[in-house]
Structure 1
């Protein structure tokens, strides 16, 4: 069964496409929808997607039809798994603290300190990883570096319950779609477009939940170290 999943392909418009790329992206989409609904199962479903897509984006290593190595795309799957385990634990603790009845996370703004942290990591991370990926001869190193850095920030923000993480995903998708189209990863590019719609809607869902469930919290107050640490 695993051997079939690893090698199975389908040809669409003359382009061979791996089933594990399609399945991995569908699991990723399911995880995004679960995150929008603040369901704990979003994390293990996302981890499954990460494992599948890791093998897809190392095209030269795993002999995919594209034979293109996107080290940022592949590397972020590994970090996704680590951050997803953290998010899984955090959301379970929140749910258990409410007696199993409340939401797994209560959305909130990151606050001024959080915004500074996000901006700093976004700039420094993109520059550092761009040079690393270029040294590794990764395809589209600068775009790949931002996708890598932005994706980690968004996943961490989701684990923390920061409403802004949806906006980071939109910025990642805006860069990811052109990169994946140029590299020939068509299912991933199409799913990125679908993700963009889902995350835009997810932002409005979390924003409404934030206003309904934390009406007395002033966003400025959340900038204190205790709120974002």
Structure 2
């Protein structure tokens, strides 16, 4: 058989419920991408892209004849947008490492809070994007268009925020998980729903980690400034 066909059709049965292996593998790739993102490792982006490609075929259930046979246009569409935004993030983090004085030891991004202007842009994009996408998904016949719309828009904003190094992106992910878990459980996408629960715990941890890094960087900048002033006064 064709290896691609075998991957698309491979199914795990748990308690009489069919679960596609590509849904499990795609979510595992997504979890690894989140872990690597927390560690600010560039490989977070290409691994995530592979997971997005697999999950696209899962959430277009009617097109790819999955056991659920449901089309979640927001969930599927966000995989495409993930690939686009992740390509941008991959470029941004790779370029940052190349610009570093010691690329082999450099981190790809320095966490920071978004500015007031940037936060305002995120809020406006979240509201307008969710309203617009809900209308589009409803017209297309998506199952659960409003929840689907927020998950779609929130995921894009979180991924973009990660690419820019905004610590708030972790909080957006938490908002996405709060809506995504009940939607996916109700639709029968059990591995994705369980992974969303794991993501919820993980992104909360990631937020704390980035906060600590941010505070450490701020402390080093302050201490560096004090040392510089002392050195200047000693001259």
Give the TM-score range, shorter chain.
over 0.9
Report the counterpart of residue 53 of structure 2 in structure 1. 51
Shift of 1:211: 1.1
Match of 2:133 among 129, 137, 143: 129
Q: In the alignment, does 2:90 pair up with 1:88?
A: yes
What TM-score do you get using the length of structure 2 for normalisation? 0.91
2:113 aligns to what SS in structure 1?
coil
Shift of 1:169: 0.1
2:43 and 2:80 map into 1 onto residues whose CA distance is 19
Report the counterpart of residue 32 of structure 1 in structure 2. 34
Query: Deviations for 1:54-109, whole angstroms, at most 9, x for unmatched residues?
Result: 00000000000000000000000000000001000100111111130221000000
Query: Deviations for 1:158-180, whole angstroms, at most 9, x for unmatched residues?
Result: 00000000000000000000000
The runs of 5 or more residues in structure 2 that have no matched partner are: 223-235
What TM-score do you get using the length of structure 1 for normalisation? 0.93
1:66 aligns to what SS in structure 2?
coil
Match of 2:70 among 50, 68, 71: 68
1:206 and 1:151 map into 2 onto residues whose CA distance is 19
Runs (4+) of structure 1 exceeding 3 A deviation are 214-217
Q: In the alignment, does 2:161 pair up with 1:178?
A: no
Report the counterpart of residue 221 of structure 1 in structure 2. none
Report the counterpart of residue 168 of structure 1 in structure 2. 172
2:12 aligns to what SS in structure 1?
strand
- Rg comparison, structure with higher value: 2
The runs of 5 or more residues in structure 1 that have no matched partner are: 218-229
Number of residue pairs the alignment of both structures matches: 217
1:77 and 1:214 map into 2 onto residues whose CA distance is 35
